[in-house]
A = this chain, B = another copy of it.
């Protein structure tokens, strides 16, 4: 995995770059759709390609539990298993172990937890999760970390960070020959901890750096302060990845502070509930006002869903709980974000990101869901 910085915007900290992996190149800033169980919910690999997606995130925790990384490796690796020719990013599973599984104990050596599927007992070390990701054959891999919830005390955050940094050090030593590995900066909302964390992982020299433990309930302005001060420490020649962030406004804010990669399940999750992104803001099709709306989901969009189906019809599908409704809204939301990021990259290369962001947000504010 390689990152090439192409251009830095003149009036913001936004950057345009290119990431190359054994499975192709994709431009940054990039929004990475989430395919938790080896499938971006409701969509096919062919549709993701059609949308222009270059990289998909899959959750190591889920795939490790079901169908199992050994099975996936036998089937030729995750790319082949899910018929996805583009790049794949896998997370470490840490976040899911802390949030979904029945966590037993985080120990210096690793994490003990129970499966949310069948209650079976598991123990994973930082070295294990890298091996699992290697079995999956993903192009970009994440180190195991402890993700603090919000709020925590300074003492708790510091103790947790110590373990995260220790695990990062072990991950660096265990590093297999192939696949890019990204470390994760933690430290909750404590600026001194975040600075220390950033400096320490940079000193360890990874292929990229993620900002973890954000978007977990902290005040929004504080989040962006943390992102800003962390990015100032991270080296310009490595990609920066803000985990779990995903509304159009947040993406543009993160980009303006120098973030290169984002992932989030929100765009497809809200889609399945009837919520869609439009050039005028987010709206929910369930509302009675779209009952007889024969127009497309977004008048400014030319995606397959917008070309062929009306708000009225998709609203009916959403109310009737029909799968096609979830397909069309998911397709549209990812298409919307792919185009948004495309426009953002173009604006950066032309040193017009600030203007672009202002114009987009001006339009996007017209509707309030």
Of B66, B67, B327, which is within 8 A of A44 by CB? B327
Knowing A291-B67, A304-B46, A327-B44 touch, does A75 contact B322 (C-beta < 8 A)? Answer: no
Q: What residues on B are CB-neighbors of A83 within 8 Å?
A: 308-309, 313
* Chain B residue, CB-CB nearest to A37: B320
With contact pairs A76-B294, A292-B74, A313-B83 given, residues A322 and B67 touching in the complex (Cβ less than 8 Å) = no
The number of chain A residues touching the other chain, given as a range, is 35 or more
Question: In the complex, which residue of chain B has the Cβ closest to the Cβ of A40?
Answer: B324
The closest CB in chain B to the CB of A330 belongs to: B323
Give chain B residues whose Cβ lies under 8 Å from the Cβ of A322: 37, 39, 41
Distance in Å from the Cβ of A344 to the closest Cβ of chain B?
29
CA distance A328 to B76 in the complex (A): 20
Is A312's beta carbon under 8 Å from chain B? yes
Complex contacts, A102 vs chain B, CB 8 Å: none
- A315 and B71 CA atoms in complex are apart in Å by 12
**A75 contacts across to B, CB distance below 8 A:** 292, 294, 310, 312-313
Least Cβ–Cβ distance between A314 and chain B, in angstroms: 10
Partner of A324, one of B39, B67, B294: B39
CA of A145 to CA of B313, assembled, Å: 29
Instruction: Please give, as numbers and ranges, the residues of chain B lying within 8 Å of A38 by CB-CB distance.
Output: 313, 316-317
Kindly state whether residue A123 has any CB partner on chain B within 8 Å: no
Q: How far is the CB of A71 from chain B (nearest CB, A)?
A: 6
Question: Within the assembled complex, what's the spacing in Å between the Cα atoms of A304 and B319?
Answer: 29
Does A326 count as interface, using CB distance less than 8 angstroms?
yes
Instruction: Assess whether A229 is interfacial by the CB under 8 Å rule.
Output: no
Inter-chain contact B323/A67, CB cutoff 8 Å: no
Within 8 A of B (CB), among A64-96: 66-67, 71, 74-76, 81-83
Question: Which residues of chain B are near A292, meaning CB under 8 Å?
Answer: 71, 74-75
Chain B contacts for A291, CB-based, 8 A: 67, 71
**Chain B residues with CB under 8 A of A319:** 66-67
Instruction: Point out the residues of chain B lying under 8 angstroms from A74, CB to CB.
Output: 292
- Mark out the residues of chain A between 165 and 190 whose CB falls within 8 Å of any chain B CB in the assembled complex: none
Cβ contacts A to B, 14 pairs, < 8 Å? A37-B320, A39-B317, A39-B323, A42-B323, A44-B324, A46-B308, A66-B316, A75-B312, A76-B294, A81-B310, A81-B312, A82-B313, A83-B313, A327-B327
What residues of chain A have their CB less than 8 Å away from a CB belonging to chain B?
A: 37-39, 41-46, 66-67, 71, 74-76, 81-83, 291-292, 294, 304, 308-310, 312-313, 315-317, 319-320, 322-324, 326-328
